[in-house]
Amino acid sequence: PQGRARFESGVDTDAKPWTHLNFLNDPEQFQFAIVSDRTGSPRAGVFEDAVRKLNWLRPEFVMSVGDLIQGTSANGDTNAAEWDEFMGWVDQLEMPFFFLAGNHDIQAKWVDGRVPYEVMRSQWEERFGTTYYYYKYKGALIVALFSNDGIERHISPEQVSYFKGILADNQDARWTFVFLHHPLWASPHDSNIHEFEDLLQDRDYTVFAGHQHMYRHFERKDRSYYVLATTGGGSPLRGNDFGEFDHITWVTMTNEGPVLANIRLDGILPDDVAGDDVAYYSYLLTMSAEVDTNVILEERDGKLGEGVAYLTFWNRSPHAIAYRGSFSHSHHAHTRPGNLEVALKPGASKTVAVDIEPMAAFASDDRVFLEFDGWVSFDEPGLPGLEISGKHAIELKNRKIELAAQESLVFYDSIEFDFAISPDIGEIRYTLDGSKPDRSSSIYTAPISIDRNATLKARLFASNGTPSEVDTVSFQEIEPSQGLICEYYEYGDNRSLRYALPDFSLMAPTTSKAVWKIDPESDSRREESFGLVYKGFIDLPESGDYIFHLESDDGARLLIDGRTVVDDPRKHPFREVSGEIRLEKGRHSFELQYFQHKQKMRLGLEHTLPSGKRRPVSTESYSFGN
């Protein structure tokens, strides 16, 4: 609006928080976009995507280099329908679109069964008036040539003569842009391009063409000539180095000449490319983007032979997840199967056995690895199309297999125990009296019910009979009492588990024990990368509205009667967050979740009673069991 200041600021210091104020807003500077071939084996949806993204970028106008319709139909009605479809797309542009004819738009070469040249040209002229033309914009001259003028890859003498007059009348043009479909300067045909180039020799100009579906830049006659790639036309899309990509060309006309930038369509993103829920779904997927690997190999005379690699996939999210992967070529061993696909329901896990056949025996000190390339994504409709990929190195070396995620657990009444590895990938033999299991010990086929103190020992026997080392889990029966059950979770350096509370319901605790009070330092075995869940009941002295005050560093959540009262799950420095809930006097289920990434660990809980008194929650108010 008139009267609006060019630039204003309230900064009055000598030093300024900017580099300079030479804004690139010269009114004589302008920007336009060029689209390339849409057809010649068109790929559905690409050009329409370009139209949508051009409206986001908002050039002052859009130019084309031809091949806008397929034009290989057998009759004029079908051809006309293609033009109607194309016009429906470009009519959505908020800026002018300038047409240029390619060989698919007006086919000069006679082909049996196709619309003849005369009909195609007539259809073009009925819609657009002329096959070649010029226009001027802010002092620049734009020339649109027709390179199929009566003869394929040809500029007619009449066309050359026409532009001779136009160029003579516009010798003061600040720059000349020449557009044609075929890159005739690289063609052996007698095309009259050289006669046209002679008309340009005393002026600044740039030439743009299409047709070849491969981007190239030429230095010719001390000028820049460009062959553009595609905007939906047929292409192997092998990437930038091959000049094969879908793009628009962005031209900025400056006082010194044009500045070009090629913008790939897949690099133009909307403002809502990632919604407010992407962090949540990214967290869920990242939390499940791990694979645990174990190996059992025959060992004789210090040499390792055939065996099995066990890959365990864990879905730690509330949504179905799909895994796929393959083993890279190895000079040391063959794998069967070489490709894996695993679909997991929420909270499920699956172990896949992969047979290993060494090409030659090797020593464990040889440090032989297999490389597994994996991908993980959601496997439910309506969820974001996120996918995480990565490489996992599997060392071919015997080591202890973690058959159980747990190490020691407490329980009252009884407990159902599952191994972390499913029983369908080999024999898991176990004992409950602390003795070493062998092939005659009980075989694991279903969850194990335990109702007394026990020391479970287990081994996995591979298909060839080779056993793993013994894994041990201890179980302790306890009586209902005051205090809480504390579940302790250790996990690796998973990015998602560093910055927020995990979904503990989808994980198995490393240990559990009875505790008298809430104390992370006493209840953990290390200083970082762990979680705690305190479970039991809380006895409240009166009915009414309670305010619970939760102090934490790094993150915590309080649930009472299954309802979230205080939720502060993201990693943060020490702080207090409060929540209010109406509760009756008496006993209520209680759960306090906590995670520690690293550095200081703090967790504390107070409440304000309905009477208005604030005080720490008494340890005597906690209990567990019936």
Closest CA to 417 of 514, 509, 505: 509
Topology (CATH) of 408-477: Immunoglobulin-like (2.60.40)
How far is Cα 210 from Cα 108, in angstroms, rounded to an integer? 17
**Angle, nearest 10°, between helix axes 157-169 and 193-200?**
10
Residue 372 has pLDDT above 90, yes or no: yes
pLDDT over 90 at 223, yes or no: yes
182-195 pLDDT per residue, tens = 999 988 778 999 99
Cβ neighbours of residue 490 closer than 8 Å, sequence gap 6 or more? 510, 525, 526, 529, 530
Report which listed range, 61-65, 283-287, 295-299, is most confident: 61-65
What per-residue confidence (pLDDT) applies to 491?
81
Which pair of tokens denotes residue 562?
Answer: 């299954």
CB–CB of 597/571 below 8 Å? yes
Can you tell me the distance from the alpha carbon of 488 to that of 485, in angstroms, rounded to the nearest whole number? 10
Residue 128 has pLDDT above 70, yes or no: yes
- 301 pLDDT tier (thresholds 50, 70, 90): confident
364 pLDDT above the threshold of 90: no
Q: Is 481-624 CATH 2.60.120.1560?
A: yes
Short-list 259, 263, 204, CA closest to 228: 263
What are 259's strand-pairing partners?
A: 252
The pLDDT of residue 495 is above 80: no
Mean pLDDT to the nearest integer, 128-151: 97
442-489 pLDDT tens trace? 999 999 999 999 999 999 998 778 888 899 999 999 999 999 999 999
Q: What is the pLDDT of residue 398?
A: 84
- Which percentage of the chain shows pLDDT scores above 90? 75
Amino acid at 399: R
Mean pLDDT of the chain: 93
More confident residue, 592 or 346: 592
Q: State which CATH number among 3.60.21.10, 3.40.50.800, 1.10.260.40, 3.50.50.60 fits the domain covering 31-267.
A: 3.60.21.10
What per-residue confidence (pLDDT) applies to 100? 98
With a cut of 60, say whether residue 225 has pLDDT above it. Answer: yes
How confident is residue 300, by pLDDT bands cut at 50, 70 and 90? confident
- 361/251: higher pLDDT: 251
pLDDT at 220 > cutoff 80? yes
- Structure confidence at residue 3 as a pLDDT band (50, 70, 90): low
Domain boundaries, the chain: 31-267, 278-395, 408-477, 481-624
Q: Bigger pLDDT: 31 or 4?
A: 31
Domains 31-267 and 481-624 share a fold: no
Quote the DSSP letter at residue 53: H
CATH topology of domain 278-395: Immunoglobulin-like (2.60.40)
38: nearest Cα among 233, 245, 228: 233
Report the DSSP pairing between strands 30-35 and 62-64: parallel
Q: b or e along 442-452 (b: 16 or more beta carbons within 10 Å of the residue's beta carbon)? A: eebeeebebee
Angle CA 542–543–546, to nearest 5: 90
What does the pLDDT average to over 397-401? 81
Residue 126 pLDDT greater than 70, yes or no: yes
Task: Note the pLDDT tens digit of each residue in 60-85.
Answer: 999 999 999 998 877 778 889 999 99
CA distance 585 to 441: 52
Residue 159 has pLDDT above 70, yes or no: yes
Q: What percent of the chain has pLDDT over 70?
A: 98
* 3 state DSSP class of 353: strand
- Rounded to an integer, the average pLDDT of 137-144 is 98
Cut 0.75: pTM above it: no
Task: Quick: pLDDT tens for 311-342.
Answer: 989 898 899 999 999 999 888 899 999 999 99
Structure token digits, residue 321:
């997840």
Residue 452's pLDDT is what?
96
Neighbours of 251 (CB within 10 A): 20
Mapped onto helix, strand or coil, the DSSP state of residue 591 is: strand
Whether residue 115 is predicted with pLDDT greater than 90 in this model: the reply is no
